[in-house]
Structure 1
Amino acid sequence: MEQNFEYINKNYITEEKLCSITGITKDDLSGLIQNQLVPDASYIVTRSIKITSPLKDEFQSEIAERYFSKSCISIVEKNKELKDSQQYKAEFKEKFSQLLMRHPDKNFAYHNIFSNESPDQEKLNEVFESEWSAYCEGIYGICTLNSTEEEIVKKEIAVKKLMQFNAEFSQKPLNTNEIEELLRLNDEFNEVANRFAPYQRDSSSRGKYLDKTLENNNLDYLVKKY
């Protein structure tokens, strides 16, 4: 528990601090989140408090503290005066789509929606809505370093490339060229991906697709530590 809290406390900011830095109230922040202008908290830390006294009485309560990605500071600053949430979503979608379509390894992304050079627009819309929902829920505050459109695209591709690599090479020792490829994939993933809290590391994309592969190939020194 202590290591998890240390990670969250070091890498995320509380609701109170986010509001203080950006000069808004908690009600303002709640409104921005509800209008999908700011992602929701990525972690909620709940503490149980018990008070006793010599009078043989006691009081128990729980305190829940919401922790946001530090990237939310700039997002709040950008959007706190914006009234049209659809404008923000449309700009986000346009940038996401352009970054995805220009990426040299786009064919790895989203179950090969680029099997034809131009993606099926309906499928692309479905992909974006899924990613937008994850972004608004604060999931990319957990998974990526800065929750940007570029990082969402790059992480998707990095994960899919790791999955393909593992499917092809997991049953045999790697040769020199394959080790070099794994090192490149490690760099691509680390360029955009977060470490995840210790309790969720094993089940995360980092734990499942990168950490285990590095360990299995005697590259433990490359596994990101806390």
Structure 2
Amino acid sequence: MNVDIKYIKENFIESNELCRVSRISKQELEELIANELLPNSSYEINIIYKISSPLGDEKVISETEKYFPKTVIGLIQKNSNLDNSLEFKQVLKTEFINAFVDSDNNHFAYDNIIDEDGNVNMEKLNLAFEQEWQYYLQGIYGICTLNATGAEIAKKEIAVKRLIEFNKKHGENKLSDNDKETLRVLNNEFNEVSNLFAPYQRATSSRGKYLDKILRLNSLNEWIKN
């Protein structure tokens, strides 16, 4: 089996199986997504079958399999009885804001998010969440975070921006022992909330660009999460 398909099938759940496990219909699944009570699928696999026979005929059939993060099973159980997405969205937003405000490193994330008095600009943070909410609904955080919680979304943003800053400063140079220790901490923080990504997309992902690359450059391959 192709490594990318293997990764997706092992780590995500196909929509038909999701419906079976959650005891809902395909229509109910689509309604939950349309009502913003569930994120969209994170991966789609398009399959083409070509049927032929000794009679010289052939037929081409195509189908699409949609894959969701397995955490969606719990969301279906929680959200199926909600009338609209407001309550669900507020829970995610509260998790996001609390995790962001509580972080000692939040000044790394989002442009000019810290005011001159040293406090988080809540108006800008609310706007940042609205953008993250749209990414969430598209299924993006099912790809790049472990559980797609509001806290993980905030922590991943901070972790990525810290790695970008570290790479700007040290990316082309061999690291000192002190710098390696800093990178070890950053690696652990990133891994606490971030997914692996499918093999085909890993090199261009935040993990590939800002972590795998600098770890390999400094012969720290044992720190690379596989």
Q: Secondary structure at the match of 2:45?
A: strand
User: Contact 1:113–1:119 at 8 Å: present in 2 too?
Assistant: yes
User: Contact 1:47–1:63 at 8 Å: present in 2 too?
Assistant: yes
Query: What is the CA–CA distance in structure 2 between the aligned matches of 1:209 and 1:65, rounded to whole Å?
Result: 31
Query: What is the CA–CA distance in structure 1 between the aligned matches of 2:127 and 2:225, rounded to whole Å?
Result: 33
Query: What is the CA–CA distance in structure 2 between the aligned matches of 1:214 and 1:92, rounded to whole Å?
Result: 33
Residue 138 of structure 2 is aligned to residue 137 of structure 1: yes
Matches within 5 A, 1:4-19: 4-19=4-19
Query: What is the CA–CA distance in structure 1 between the aligned matches of 2:91 and 2:145, rounded to whole Å?
Result: 20
Q: Secondary structure at the match of 1:64?
A: strand
In structure 2, what residue type is equivalent to 1:157? I
1:144-173 Cα deviation digits (max 9, x unpaired): 011011111111111011111111112322
Residue 91 of structure 1, CA deviation: 2.5
Query: What is the CA–CA distance in structure 2 between the aligned matches of 1:119 and 1:222, rounded to whole Å?
Result: 33
What is the TM-score with the length of structure 2 in the denominator? Answer: 0.96
Query: What is the CA–CA distance in structure 2 between the aligned matches of 1:209 and 1:20, rounded to whole Å?
Result: 39
1:167-220 Cα deviation digits (max 9, x unpaired): 111232211110111111111111111110111111100000000010011112
Residue 186 of structure 2 is aligned to residue 185 of structure 1: yes
Residue 128 of structure 1, CA deviation: 0.6
In structure 2, what residue type is equivalent to 1:125? N
Residue 157 of structure 2 is aligned to residue 194 of structure 1: no
In structure 2, what residue type is equivalent to 1:81? N
Query: What is the CA–CA distance in structure 2 between the aligned matches of 1:177 and 1:145, rounded to whole Å?
Result: 29
In structure 2, what residue type is equivalent to 1:36? E
- Contiguous gaps of at least 5 residues in structure 1: none
- Contiguous gaps of at least 5 residues in structure 2: none
Deviates more, 1:11-20 or 1:96-105: 96-105
Query: What is the CA–CA distance in structure 2 between the aligned matches of 1:8 and 1:91, rounded to whole Å?
Result: 28
Query: What is the CA–CA distance in structure 2 between the aligned matches of 1:193 and 1:96, rounded to whole Å?
Result: 15
Partner of 1:71: 71
Partner of 1:171: 172
In structure 1, what residue type is equivalent to 2:24? I
RMSD: 1.3
Residue 121 of structure 1, CA deviation: 3.3
Q: Secondary structure at the match of 2:61?
A: strand
Query: What is the CA–CA distance in structure 1 between the aligned matches of 2:225 and 2:119, rounded to whole Å?
Result: 37
Query: What is the CA–CA distance in structure 1 between the aligned matches of 2:187 and 2:219, rounded to whole Å?
Result: 14
User: Contact 1:37–1:79 at 8 Å: present in 2 too?
Assistant: yes
Query: What is the CA–CA distance in structure 2 between the aligned matches of 1:82 and 1:203, rounded to whole Å?
Result: 37
1:82-102 Cα deviation digits (max 9, x unpaired): 112122212322221122111
Give the fraction of aligned pairs with identical amino acids, expressed as a percent.
Answer: 46
Partner of 2:39: 39
Partner of 1:213: 214
Q: Secondary structure at the match of 1:163?
A: helix
User: Contact 2:14–2:67 at 8 Å: present in 1 too?
Assistant: yes
- Figure out how many residues of one structure are paired with residues of the other and give that number: 225
Partner of 1:107: 107
User: Contact 1:107–1:115 at 8 Å: present in 2 too?
Assistant: no
User: Contact 2:160–2:210 at 8 Å: present in 1 too?
Assistant: yes
Partner of 2:2: 2
Deviates more, 1:216-225 or 1:140-149: 216-225
Matches within 5 A, 1:154-165: 154-165=155-166
Partner of 2:120: 119
In structure 2, what residue type is equivalent to 1:4? D
Query: What is the CA–CA distance in structure 2 between the aligned matches of 1:120 and 1:166, rounded to whole Å?
Result: 26
In structure 1, what residue type is equivalent to 2:150? E
In structure 2, what residue type is equivalent to 1:224? K
Query: What is the CA–CA distance in structure 2 between the aligned matches of 1:50 and 1:173, rounded to whole Å?
Result: 52
